[in-house]
Amino acid sequence: MSIAKTFHHIPLSVLDLAPVNEGSNPSESFQHSVQLAKHVETLGFNRYWLAEHHNMPGIASSATSVLIGHIAEKTSHIRVGAGGIMLPNHATLVIAEQFGTLESLYPDRIDLGLGRAPGTDQATAYALRRTLNMRVEDFPMQVNELQDYFSKEPVSRVKAVPGQGLDIPIWLLGSSDFSARLAAQKGLPFSFASHFAPAYTIPALQLYREQFKPSEQLPKPHAMVGLNVIAADTDEKAQYIASSLQQQFLNLRRGQPTKLQPPIENIEAHFSAFELQAIEQTLNPTTTIIGNKEKVKQGLEHFLTKTEADEMIISSQIFHLEDRLRSFEIISELMDETSDGTS
């Protein structure tokens, strides 16, 4: 099978961090998310996932399940879900009820991706949990609890209403080998955060596939990889608008998270050589693809060949909405070209 046809058969999805732009607010961010979700649904993307983060001025998706419901209401058929819910922050019953409610409102459209990191700093994690009893080491137990709440005949005396007996796909998300092992052991689909942990991607996928045990949910391994993709009509335009992502990454690394900054010319003049090296390591060209349509096509094909992924999910931290919409249009044009057998 040719790379082009393989590329066509790989579902492409969207990871939205609901960015809050400098000079803007979460209300406008949510309006932009709705516009993007409607846009990519029309373009043929498979899933639209939102990520849980807290105490981050540039990310508005902290109440993730509420925003999932809003996006699902404004769209008609694209799958909408969490990429992901940081389970140690929550009582599992609450998540079961929230996603049972979402699945009841929007049947066969809801995905529940689970992560074990807090998605925030330690002080905020304490504020979320109100107790220090729950640890990330308890994550496997929490996943078991959640699966029980969704089962037809739960063991627990406490029932999730709604939630019990509903078929809500559970994914495990990871940026290391821990969730890869757990997803394999439990026979669950696995999504790896290669867009910010590129060095661990291949080892984690290999571990997942080698140790996978079939389950009722999944007969064979199913792996999705994350990518940053910033596409524009010219390489120069793509590099320019990518500077917003680079600024966000470096401000986070400095411990000074900010709203998403507008793009800047000549990013080398704004950061030290050490910081620019950090960009190159974490936002490397394999998993952060920046360029025109041909360059993006080559990047996606190369990463697909390298990972043999079953799906790809794309994050595009772009300041101007029109540039963000255009970036996904360019990616969808690649999908259309490969389906036609053209290149």
Q: Tell me the per-residue pLDDT of 56-101, one tens digit each, with 9 for 90 and over.
A: 999 999 999 999 999 999 999 999 999 999 998 899 999 999 999 9
Total domain count, the chain: 1
CB atoms closer than 10 angstroms to residue 60 = 25
CB atoms closer than 10 angstroms to residue 325 = 17
Q: Which domain holds residue 96?
A: 3-340
Residues 6 or more apart from 339 whose CB is under 8 A from it? 8
Sign of torsion over alpha carbons 10, 43, 331, 106:
negative
The pLDDT tens digits for 324-337 are 999 999 999 998 77
Percent of the chain residues topping a pLDDT of 90: 78
The pLDDT tens digits for 169-228 are 999 999 989 999 999 999 999 999 999 888 899 999 999 999 999 999 999 999 999 999
Measure the CA–CA gap between 58 and 21, rounded to whole angstroms: 7
Least confidently predicted of 39-43, 113-117, 126-130, 226-230: 126-130
CB contact at 8 A, 136 and 88 = yes
Q: How confident is the model over 284-300, as a mean pLDDT? A: 96
CB atoms closer than 10 angstroms to residue 9 = 11
Q: Which runs of consecutive H residues, i.e. helices, occur in the chain?
A: 3-9, 26-43, 64-74, 92-105, 122-129, 139-150, 177-186, 201-211, 235-253, 273-282, 293-307, 321-340
Percentage helix, strand, coil, to 5, in the chain?
A: 50, 15, 35
CATH number at residue 91: 3.20.20.30
Q: Fill in the amino acid letter for 226.
A: G
CB atoms closer than 10 angstroms to residue 140 = 16
Backbone phi and psi for residue 89, each to the nearest 5 degrees, phi listed first: -80, -10
pLDDT band, very low/low/confident/very high, at 134 (cuts 50, 70, 90) = low
Tokens matching residue 261: 């900054």
Backbone phi and psi for residue 185, each to the nearest 5 degrees, phi listed first: -65, -40
- Three-state DSSP class for residue 261: coil
What pLDDT, on the 0 to 100 scale, is given for residue 119?
59
What pLDDT, on the 0 to 100 scale, is given for residue 1?
32
Tokens matching residue 131: 């107790």
